Amino acid sequence: MSLLNKNRYLGKPLLGFMALLILLTGCTDPNHTNKETDPSQTLVIQHATIVDVRSGKLVNNQTITITKNKISHIGNSEDMDIPDFAQVRDAKGQYVIPGLWDMHVHLEENYKNAFPLFLANGVTGVREMGAALTNVDQWNKSIQAGMTTPRLVYAGLTLNGGPADEAPHMLYLKTEEEAREAVRHNAEIGASHIKVYSWLPRSVFLAVMDEAKKFNLPVVGHLPVEVRASEAAQLGFKSIEHLHGLFIATSSIEDELFKNADMSDLIGYSLAEIEASQHYDSEKANELFRTFKEKEVWPVPTMVTYFNMAKTEIDSRSKYVPTAVQEYWAEVIRATPPEQTELMTAINSTTPGMVKKLSDAGVPMLAGTDSSYEMTNFIYGVSLHDELEMLVKSGGLTPLQALQSATLNPSRYLDREQELGAVEEGKLADLVLLDKNPLEDIRNTTSISAVVLDGKLMEKQTLDQSVKTYPVIQVADTKVEPE
């Protein structure tokens, strides 16, 4: 939900050409890349404690056999014969969870930093939420060339309305015809979902929903400010990012706000949301949450988004962030008026309550971060663990529920529960080996010992070696003294 844009506008005539290029470069799942797979390739993980993310049970002393890229067998280590040709990894005293998904990221042109960071942090899948077509083309080319990457699903261009502010990852749509064409374009470049943004007019939004259905593509993103959450849910809007619109939708003053509030920019919208949070109507909320469950609408709280944006210093863990980006962040932090930081802090104070209400009502959620270099203090991979921690600490989720929001729930959202989201026979072998029990303390998801991606074992040391590091700066370091 970047508020700032520093990139150049990508001219429309290029779109057709880019779409063709991307079609030629193919798809983005690790198992579909051109990497050679040895048919006898067998990896055996021994003596592991498997975390069952469905039940929250721990299953001790298990041997997980992985043939090529799939879990072919799981059984008690005492009863298992191991073939001589297998690669064996002892996981005694360790916990195995499914690979994590960050369900809201922006890769931009940062993929060379981002992909190794995701993997080093156990993130084996990401949902990209809007990018310039040049970027989509870059990732696809790198993947095609054999780069090791998490599984990637992407949106292509974000569909927005309002005055064009020349963001290269957005299309500014005015008519229904433009909307339909935009959906067709994203479908052509291999998008797995259509991302919409806050300023899309309601009539254009309805056209997007209708056209996307023809391509069997879910529509997700910022709930457009002209659209009520209840209407979007009924229409099958599949994920609501940043909890936008949910305070208004669950308040007794929804009608009044839709009639009178100035929601023509993000500040006005946020103020309306904060006001609405003072007028919570539990009956209305319960009805909305019932619809969410019925229609499978997934809230993506991205608690870490507002939290990061309210920080007034560079995160001390920013050694994974290129110096030029840290300098840009310092500049942004210095230029941020205190009122904006206050607003973010105010949103921060309302968000946990909504997460808790959704969770109490049994609405499953997705873990996402909004990671990007455009916004301050996001660290690819690291921020997802922050989000999980916040979902538990402030949002009131159990560690199991938080874990589900990054494993089982994404697999359901993606309609890929058959192959992803749990440590089970027949599934793709995307796993994370942890030194400590994540159900005891969700922060233990950071105790990573190894990652298995698409059947390939990567030890922590190797993962760390592939990650670049930089000196961490402070905002004051970059301060320009007036002459």
At closest approach, how far in Å is the CB of 365 from Zn ion? 16
Residue 1 lies near Zn ion (rule: CB under 5 A): yes
At closest approach, how far in Å is the CB of 382 from Zn ion? 17
Residue 263 lies near Zn ion (rule: CB under 5 A): no
At closest approach, how far in Å is the CB of 370 from Zn ion? 4
At closest approach, how far in Å is the CB of 182 from Zn ion? 18
Give whichever of 266 and 458 is closer to Zn ion, judged by the CB atom. 266
Give whichever of 129 and 207 is closer to Zn ion, judged by the CB atom. 129
| Burial annotation 419-458 (CB, 10 A radius, 16+ → b, else e) | bbbbbbeebbbbbbbbebebbeebbbbbbbbbbbbbbbbe
Could you write out the three-class secondary structure of the chain? Answer: CCCCCCCCCCCCCHHHHHHHHHHHHCCCCHHHCCCCCCCCCEEEEEEEEEECCCCCCEEEEEEEEEECCEEEEEEEHHHCCCCCCCEEEECCCCEEEECEEEEEECCCCCHHHHHHHHHHCCEEEEEECCCCHHHHHHHHHHHHCCCCCCEEECCCCEEECCCCCCCCCEEECCCHHHHHHHHHHHHHCCCCCEEECCCCCHHHHHHHHHHHHHCCCCEEECCCCCCCHHHHHHHCCCEEECCCCHHHHCECCHHHHHHHCCCCCHHHHHHHHHHHHHHECHHHHHHHHHHHHHHCCEEECCHHHHHHHCCCCCCCCHHHCCHHHHHHHHHHHHHCCHHHHHHHHHHHHHHHHHHHHHHHCCCCCCCCCCECCCCCCCCCCHHHHHHHHHHHHCCCCCHHHHHHHCCHHHHHHCCCCCCCCCCCCCCECCEEEECCCCCCCHHHHHCEEEEEECCEEEEHHHHHHCCCCCCCCCHHHHCCCCC
At closest approach, how far in Å is the CB of 223 from Zn ion? 13
Give whichever of 132 and 422 is closer to Zn ion, judged by the CB atom. 132
Residue 310 lies near Zn ion (rule: CB under 5 A): no
Binding mask 316-355 for Zn ion (x = CB under 5 A): ----------------------------------------
At closest approach, how far in Å is the CB of 424 from Zn ion? 31
Give whichever of 89 and 195 is closer to Zn ion, judged by the CB atom. 195
Q: Which stretch binds Zn ion (CB under 5 A): 17-25, 118-126, 368-376, 392-400?
A: 368-376
At closest approach, how far in Å is the CB of 22 from Zn ion? 21
Give whichever of 1 and 152 is closer to Zn ion, judged by the CB atom. 1
At closest approach, how far in Å is the CB of 97 from Zn ion? 25
Binding mask 27-66 for Zn ion (x = CB under 5 A): ----------------------------------------
Applying CB under 5 A, what is the total number of residues that bind Zn ion?
Answer: 3
Which residues from 186-215 bind Zn ion, rule CB under 5 A?
none
Q: Which stretch binds Zn ion (CB under 5 A): 111-119, 157-165, 287-295, 366-374?
A: 366-374
Give whichever of 182 and 439 is closer to Zn ion, judged by the CB atom. 182
Q: Which stretch binds Zn ion (CB under 5 A): 123-131, 138-146, 270-278, 321-329?
A: 123-131
Residue 370 lies near Zn ion (rule: CB under 5 A): yes
Among positions 18, 129, 170, 189, the unique one binding Zn ion when judged by CB under 5 A: 129
Give whichever of 304 and 475 is closer to Zn ion, judged by the CB atom. 304
At closest approach, how far in Å is the CB of 320 from Zn ion? 20
At closest approach, how far in Å is the CB of 117 from Zn ion? 18
Which residues from 7-26 bind Zn ion, rule CB under 5 A?
none
Contacting positions for Zn ion (CB under 5 A): 1, 129, 370
